Structure 1
Amino acid sequence: MAIDNSSLMSEIFPAIDPLAPLALSIQANRRVFALFLGSGLSVSAGIPTGRDVVHLLIRKLACARGQECGDDPEAWFNAEFKDDPDYSKLLETLYPSASERRNALNDLFEPGELDQIHGRKRPTQAHHSITQLVKQGFFQVILTTNFDRLLEQAFTEANVPFTMVRSSEEAERIDPLQHIQTLIIKVNGDYKDPDIRNTTTEVSVYPAGMEKLLKKVFTEYGLIICGWSSTSDIGLRGLLTENLSRYTTYWATRGEIAEKARPIVMARQGVFVTIEDANVFFSDLEMKVAALDRMAHMTPLTASMAAEQVKFYLSEERWDIALNDLVVRETRSVSSRLLSMNDLEKTPKVITLNDYGLRIQEYDSVLSSLVSMVVAGSFWGRQGHNSLWGSSLKAVLDTVTDSGTNTWIQLQWYPALRLLYASGISALASKNYNLLRTLLVDTKVSGYGIGNDIPAVMKLFPFNILKLDNDVASRVLRLNYSSSMFPLSDKLREDLSKEFTDIVMQDAEFLYLFDYFEYLCCLVHADYFKRQSNEARGSFSSFIQRSNRGNPHNPLLGVENEIKRDGANWAPLQAGFFEGSLERARQIKHEYDERLVEIRKRY
């Protein structure tokens, strides 16, 4: 008997989406299910259903008799002929030959001028979602009673190759199913075929080649039926009832299924899925199957996988919620582990070189996936995503405690520093200066003995975290950067360069982005201090080693040239840096660069 599991599932698991079991089954059983699609799939594209065609034919019949059928063509037909209208009989009566019937249907499927203006008779969301599910390898076989070519059009636009069967002769000639990538079976042909089948006689019995293929599909595949009423398709009803599969048949329906369909559902022990319409059904199904498929590959969530997930979610706005969930979930996980690491009771009282080095390695490991995510997201994301990356940075900032020795407390800022550099340099690469402002200025740091809230960049800078007089920290980092006066900056540059191999083409380009980012941070420092103490003093870092005038990749020269070229339209000003003032930017840069001359003499 038919199984209506939607109410049962809602009683046992009230929060479970009724599409969840179907999505789970599709994701776990690739190419096991065949799609069986009827006219309901294309109705939102302006393609008429069988009933729509019946009404049109009745109106034409009434017109030929010199009568009007009013708003209820079926009632008029009943009154005139004492019988219910039948699609096949009407079509055969009005158009006796197959060629005449085919020509009569052309106008119903070909887009006219008004259709093109209003976007009708084009592939719908359902067609596009099916295309993506096929492209991802979840479906191999699609059967359809539809005469239109919208599915083929959607496949072609998405570069999805397919084999088409529209006749018994073509069915006999195809390769074995296991050797076909994607197969579309148009069981009744399409509106341009000379052998189109659309009368009761024509669809009662199928030619041998088509019948053999249909029997094979009905017995070897599970079915997902959508948009098909079955009312006029005598032959298909019989084949479905007699040729059963060990896999489930799912019947997606907006309401009660037709009476003539019930024997099919009972014979195949079908499962009903109540839907709003085909577009919503297939769109939701695509998203759920894709999410399940990614989840199946998420454990463990490696850094490269995390970046690929973010890029996938950024490909279309409809994935924004999934993107938010992914980033929030990973940020929460990272924050939880950092809080545990920063616990005073788990921190050694006596700091050795080994302890310090291991802690840095542990921080790097914990941050690995999140750093890859923010690099991808900050580069490829839209303006609406800026707050997401800022919130992630703020969450990591909030893991810093004031417990332990000064060396440990200073090192607790390192994860947020690494995340800031990753997101900030990526934002700079994509010229998203609004995100840079979100990260550097709008994200605030408070507490921990620093007084009022200050912009994150005022605390998150290598010299503020690694003091050169900190013997343990300096000695650990200089194990790898023995000749550097800026070992933490050099470590960040070397580590993060690996994250940008898919974003920048040359190492020199990344080096310039890194130096430009650090220099801009220093200018923001100087601007902040200028407002606090009327002195444009800022921090400094490894970029000063590459800031001589003869270096074409000198960030000081790069900023100078940009300001000369763009003036008040310089991108950082447009984003609100330096209060949006060109004169202030020039003043801060001039005063800071003069101070840098003195600093460069020492380093």
Structure 2
Amino acid sequence: MESENAVGTVTIPAGGLIEPAMAMALNVHSSPGVYALLLGAGISITSGVKTGWGVVQDIVGKVAAVRDPDNPGARAEAAADPEKWWEANTSEPLGYSVLLAAAAPLPASRQAMLAEYFEPEEGQEDSKGPTAAHRAIAQLVKRGSVRVILTTNFDRLTERALQEVGISPQVVSRPEQIKGMKPLAHSQVTVIKLHGDYADLEQRNTVDELETYPEELQQLLERVLDEYGLIVCGWSADWDKALVRAVEGTRSRRYPLFWSQYGRFSDAARALTAQHNAVVIDGKNADELFTGLVSRVEALDRLTTAPITRDVAVVQLKRALPDPLRRIELFDLVDQAVTQITDRATPEHRPVLATSATWADTFGSNVRGYRADSEILLHLLATGVFHDDGTYDHVWRRAVERLARLRDTSPSPFNEYLEKLRHLPALLATWTIGVAAILNRREELLATVLYHPEWALPNSGHARLGPAWYLNPNRILIADGMHDMHPSGNGGRFLYPQSNWLKDTLREPFQLIEPSDIAYRDACARFEFLTSMIAMDAGDDFRAVPWSGEFFLDPTWGYDHNGLAATIEAELTDTWPLLRAGAFGGELSRAQKSLAALTEWKTKHGRRS
């Protein structure tokens, strides 16, 4: 929809095929490094950092307060119209440099005075920090989409966001720096602070100071405006007369101008967008604009980039895991692997309906298909969880959460057992996380991944429960289908086909992590046992059903106070890792009761050989 403020500008109807924000993404993606950003005060609004003029207003208010200490309204009166107050009380014109020289004449005192406006307060490191827009811009720079940033802001939020992702920007805030700067094309990113840095006395704030730029800065600005496309965000064009004239003076643009407008559209901005046939993106704040741009550009990446292989993904994960600056890369690796699964978990690829004659074949095909779709994710989870120290536990849990949502909608019509298979990827992921945690002696992680994320069948009226209940393999993988798909080597049937198949099919992602088949199978048995104990914590409820598996067999369960059951019983103390992490409500008595219930279940329902 055309903005009613954007009279005379070129806009693209929101109801059309390509909306303005989409057009911007297409252009940025097809021409990496061609678009410069012009950022105004609007991009930093949500950070809590004042604009340069806001600092001037506040300091003038403080000067007024100390000048007239008996007048409680002195500060507010001066801050309301600082230029008028300054003119009435001094012989000097109001300017940033004059003001600071008077209020804090020495560098140390000046830095201390300014720090409160631009730096986080002690103990409040999250305040006055980069916004979502700044961090999205840093991602655009990191991927090579943006290499030049013009800003009227004095703060260092852009620089801090770039440093967070491992980028040291070339910063130009004073005219004398321009002669020795690296050429724009040779710098990963150049931040040109048109009005100076907050610590510089050469800042430009007042109307007079904003009337002209030094010659060196003017020439650099004109070069950028001539050679680069431009994305404008958070700039009103109300006060910056020299900048307005520079944009006006770019008579013939080589690349399009995109102008993001949120709120009032000034006369100057309207004139500039009309002159340059700008594409106006109306109604998006800075956070929405730049995070949306990153998402769209990454979506285009996925269309043009060959799918990542399993081994390459694991190598990238290993490199990213110990590096806090690559946390987004690690998140994206796992998230993209989940997306590959969810994109194929549709009735077209994994049918939920079959005739009685084709049911067994469809069941087997779906099980093998879900396993194949999950290949990259399972390798990432096995490697990531095993080598992680807990830093990325939220990433592993998010993978399960996204997969659990595959059953948030019910296709119609469907066969119950084929529909339940839609939770198989979540089961595979949870099993892999659990076994990796056990192999690395991080069993406290089970206290989270087996209780969260909670899920309930939509519109069922059932309570939401954790994976220990809704991902029970014996509910998801019906025994008859498993016997047909996964017969034993001699043509017979496994006593616990679900358990046996899960151990077998998930062995490969653990080959490099745990070469010993015995150690791997012991970890699987322990995972089944602990998960079953948590499942039995539902008490006498019908949901108290264990993950009946091969850990029930006597050689593993044990007898005469030997074996897995006896080992875990001996571990049950107040310092047991699962209890300390919150499993069983942190209550030893509940854990002991669950073990007793599991033992009773085995006595009644278990198979012995």
Unaligned runs of 5+ in 2: 1-5, 386-392, 438-442, 461-468
Bigger drift between 253-262 and 111-120 goes to 111-120
- Give the one of 131, 149, 159 matched to 2:166: 159
CA contact (8 A) 2:38 2:151 kept: yes
The TM-score normalised by the length of structure 1 is: 0.67
Q: 1:546 to 1:393 in 2, by over 3 A?
A: farther
Q: Pick the structure with greater CA Rg.
A: 1
Residue 111 of structure 1 pairs with residue 116 of structure 2: yes
User: Aligned-pair distance for 1:344?
Assistant: 1.1
User: Aligned-pair distance for 1:181?
Assistant: 0.6
- Mapped to 2, the partners of 1:576 and 1:583 lie a distance apart of 12
User: Aligned-pair distance for 1:35?
Assistant: 1.4
- Give the one of 406, 409, 414 matched to 1:392: 406
- The one-letter code matched in structure 2 to 1:369 is D
Q: 1:362 to 1:94 in 2, by over 3 A?
A: closer
Question: 1:146 is paired with a residue of what secondary structure?
Answer: coil
CA contact (8 A) 1:38 1:146 kept: yes
- Give the one of 256, 272, 281 matched to 1:273: 281
Question: 1:140 is paired with a residue of what secondary structure?
Answer: strand
The TM-score normalised by the length of structure 2 is: 0.66
- Give the one of 221, 236, 256 matched to 2:243: 236
Matches within 5 A, 1:17-32: 19-32=21-34
Residue 50 of structure 1 pairs with residue 26 of structure 2: no
**Paired residue for 2:373?**
369
CA contact (8 A) 1:165 1:183 kept: yes
**Paired residue for 2:272?**
264
Matches within 5 A, 1:422-437: 422-427=429-434, 429=437, 431-433=445-447, 435-436=449-450
Residue 38 of structure 1 pairs with residue 40 of structure 2: yes
Pick the structure with more helix per residue: 1
- The one-letter code matched in structure 2 to 1:420 is L
- Mapped to 2, the partners of 1:539 and 1:190 lie a distance apart of 66
User: Aligned-pair distance for 1:336?
Assistant: 1.1
- Mapped to 2, the partners of 1:579 and 1:344 lie a distance apart of 49
Offset from partner CA, 1:488-532 (integer Å, 9 cap, x none): 644432322345679x66666653332223345666899999989
- Give the one of 213, 221, 224 matched to 2:220: 213
CA contact (8 A) 1:466 1:488 kept: no
Unaligned runs of 5+ in 1: 83-87, 403-408, 447-453
- The one-letter code matched in structure 2 to 1:143 is L
Q: 1:494 to 1:161 in 2, by over 3 A?
A: farther
- Mapped to 2, the partners of 1:557 and 1:293 lie a distance apart of 56
Residue 584 of structure 1 pairs with residue 593 of structure 2: yes
User: Aligned-pair distance for 1:183?
Assistant: 0.8
**Paired residue for 1:181?**
188
Offset from partner CA, 1:26-80 (integer Å, 9 cap, x none): 3444322211123343455242343663686599689989996974877797799
User: Aligned-pair distance for 1:142?
Assistant: 0.8
Residue 131 of structure 1 pairs with residue 138 of structure 2: yes
Residue 255 of structure 1 pairs with residue 263 of structure 2: yes
- Mapped to 2, the partners of 1:121 and 1:523 lie a distance apart of 47
Q: 1:213 to 1:592 in 2, by over 3 A?
A: same
- Give the one of 537, 541, 545 matched to 2:550: 541
**Paired residue for 1:563?**
572
**Paired residue for 1:497?**
507
Root mean square deviation of aligned Cα: 6.0
User: Aligned-pair distance for 1:161?
Assistant: 1.7
User: Aligned-pair distance for 1:236?
Assistant: 2.6
User: Aligned-pair distance for 1:267?
Assistant: 3.1
Matches within 5 A, 1:68-467: 71=77, 89-91=93-95, 109-111=114-116, 116=121, 121-193=128-200, 195-197=202-204, 204-243=211-250, 244-275=252-283, 281-298=285-302, 334-337=345-348, 340=351, 342-344=353-355, 347=358, 360=364, 363-369=367-373, 380=394, 389-392=403-406, 401=415, 419-427=426-434, 429=437, 431-433=445-447, 435-436=449-450, 457=472, 459-460=474-475, 464-465=479-480
CA contact (8 A) 2:258 2:281 kept: yes
CA contact (8 A) 1:110 1:121 kept: no
- Mapped to 1, the partners of 2:38 and 2:220 lie a distance apart of 14
Q: 1:183 to 1:546 in 2, by over 3 A?
A: farther
Offset from partner CA, 1:328-365 (integer Å, 9 cap, x none): 996585251476374218728xx9xxxx5x97355422
Q: 1:455 to 1:497 in 2, by over 3 A?
A: same
- Mapped to 2, the partners of 1:77 and 1:464 lie a distance apart of 82
Q: 1:216 to 1:500 in 2, by over 3 A?
A: farther
Q: 1:25 to 1:559 in 2, by over 3 A?
A: farther
Residue 516 of structure 1 pairs with residue 526 of structure 2: yes
Q: Count the aligned residue pairs.
A: 550
Question: 2:182 is paired with a residue of what secondary structure?
Answer: coil
- Mapped to 2, the partners of 1:230 and 1:240 lie a distance apart of 10
- Mapped to 1, the partners of 2:101 and 2:592 lie a distance apart of 83
CA contact (8 A) 2:52 2:154 kept: no
Question: 1:90 is paired with a residue of what secondary structure?
Answer: coil
